[in-house]
Amino acid sequence: MSIAIKVPTVGESITEVTIGQWFKNEGDYVEMDEVICELESDKATFELTAEAAGVLHIKAEEGETLDIGAVICEIDTEASGNQGEGAEPKASNSSETTKVQTESKATGEIKEMVVPTVGESITEVTLATWLKEDGDYVELDEIIAEVDSDKATFELPAEAAGILRHVANEGDTLEIGGLICKIEVTEGKPPSTSQKDAEKPAVSGSGTTQADGKETYATGHASPAAAKILAEKGMDPKDIRGTGKDGRVTKEDAEKAQKIQKESKPTSPEKPEESAPSSKTQGDRVSRREKMTSLRKTISKRLVAAKNETAMLTTFNEVNMKPIMDLRKQYKDMFKEKYEVNLGFMSFFTKATCMALREWPAVNAQIDGNEIVYNDFCDISIAVSAPKGLVVPVIRNAEKLSFSEIEKEVVRLAIKARDGKLTIDEMTGGTFTITNGGIFGSMMSTPIINAPQSAILGMHNIVERPMAVNGEVKILPMMYLALSYDHRIIDGRESVSFLVRVKQLLEDPARLLIGV
């Protein structure tokens, strides 16, 4: 029995379509829902899928224009293999098709993949990058995409082996449980890449040619996404070397061409310089727009919320860093040799902060509804500037760690932050935050509270300044400290006393060792 496949209705105002490209040849065996050709209207490009499994008989050729409802092909559902009844066996790709069928066979099962739960507080993610193209064969547990949340980037593994079908596009924001892709489950693997490459025609000129050397309809033709990119850049698709099927210009080709266009922008030396000064502005005046990442949007929301929802106030003090600098200079080599990590300032500040938090517990507390939660432990959040934005990993139970353990934990978390490999657990649950703007040259700032915490300590750069010491003027390395706090839970007495205690411990680091 033969089933007639007709041109579907693709829009109220569309009355005809043009066959852009056949993905299957006359006499090929096709599976149900397999894409067999591409249709183009005056508004968009559509894919036509097989309505049943069987042998394909083409009724219209590439480039033909058909009315809506016209027969475009037929599928013989009773035939098998890659040829119809009474048809002569095809010499070309007959054995190849049989081999494909023996290597890879569709089971008919469709595996729907949804956005997994990646953390208690995360309700949505953004699809950052597809690592596998639509239609690619993927193995079970193979990484197929990367998704961004407001806290980290996660890899998405395939939940079955088969043919990947994209549902969401790069940049789409999806809720947890939202459909991200489908996998057409298959038994066995498709032909190897080398076999596929051997079947591909050679690339020549601006596009791909068939084996007989003639260009196909698709040669130099841009996909809708590629055409949009090229149109924005004023580039002709015929000038782009297409890497798609039969030389079609893909989105990736257009993006690469866009990059090349930017990098190799020619100058115009033929226009002579004018003797009189020009009234026009000299130099390039280029602007560009980039979509905010999910992480950056979340940072923005939380910082604004912290400013609006807390009674934030900042108090300042200054610290003489000479005792710590002298101590580091004396023992840094021995410390590095024994613990295989540098002795930095962060371990001193973390230890001093933990001691001061024990004495002033309100600074280590937080508001939960109508209650105040006091913490008997110190989970210190360390602000780290990562490539995708500010992240705040947490040093757990910092009050129990030694100097070397703190330094090793700081290095470990900083490396993971810059590589984008921090986990949700490593970035949640902090009770107090330390941020060091001094590494960028900041002299003084008012850091914003990392909600739901109630306070944050800001370190700044060390500057030699003249200071009065016992009636004498001395040049000392000084650092400004800033404590931003929520005045709803922390009073002025507690905030100032906390900062004074931190100053006292840093200016006399021996106190950190004996706990006084």
Q: Rounded to an integer, what distance in angstroms lies between the CA atom of residue 86 and that of residue 79?
A: 10
196: three-class secondary structure by DSSP: helix
Q: Does an H or E element contain 297, and which?
A: helix 294-309
Q: DSSP class of residue 495?
A: H
Residue pair 386/417 in contact (Cβ under 8 Å)? The answer is: yes
The 10 Å Cβ neighbour count of residue 8 is 14
Which of these is catalytic: 141, 239, 425, 487?
487
Encoded tokens for 149: 């949340």
487 is catalytic: yes
Cα angle 4, 5, 9; round to 5: 135
C-alpha dihedral sign at 184, 185, 191, 194: positive
Q: Rounded to an integer, what distance in angstroms lies between the CA atom of residue 310 and that of residue 488?
A: 7
Residue pair 241/253 in contact (Cβ under 8 Å)? The answer is: yes
Residue 229, sorted as left (phi over 0), alpha (psi -120 to 50) or beta, turns out to be: alpha
Q: Does an H or E element contain 21, and which?
A: strand 16-22
Q: Does an H or E element contain 363, and which?
A: none
Q: Rounded to an integer, what distance in angstroms lies between the CA atom of residue 148 and that of residue 155?
A: 9
Which of these is catalytic: 67, 134, 491, 508?
491
Question: Which residues, 6+ apart, have CB-to-CB distance to 168 below 8 Å?
Answer: 127, 174, 178, 179, 180, 181
Q: Rounded to an integer, what distance in angstroms lies between the CA atom of residue 328 and that of residue 425?
A: 32
57 is catalytic: no
Residue pair 434/382 in contact (Cβ under 8 Å)? The answer is: yes
Backbone angles phi, psi at 342, to 5 degrees: -75, 150
Q: Is 192 exposed, middle or buried (0-12, 13-18, 19+ CB in 10 A)?
A: exposed
Q: Which of 410, 464, 403, 401 is nearest to 435 (CA)?
A: 410
- The residues annotated with a catalytic role in the active site are 487, 491
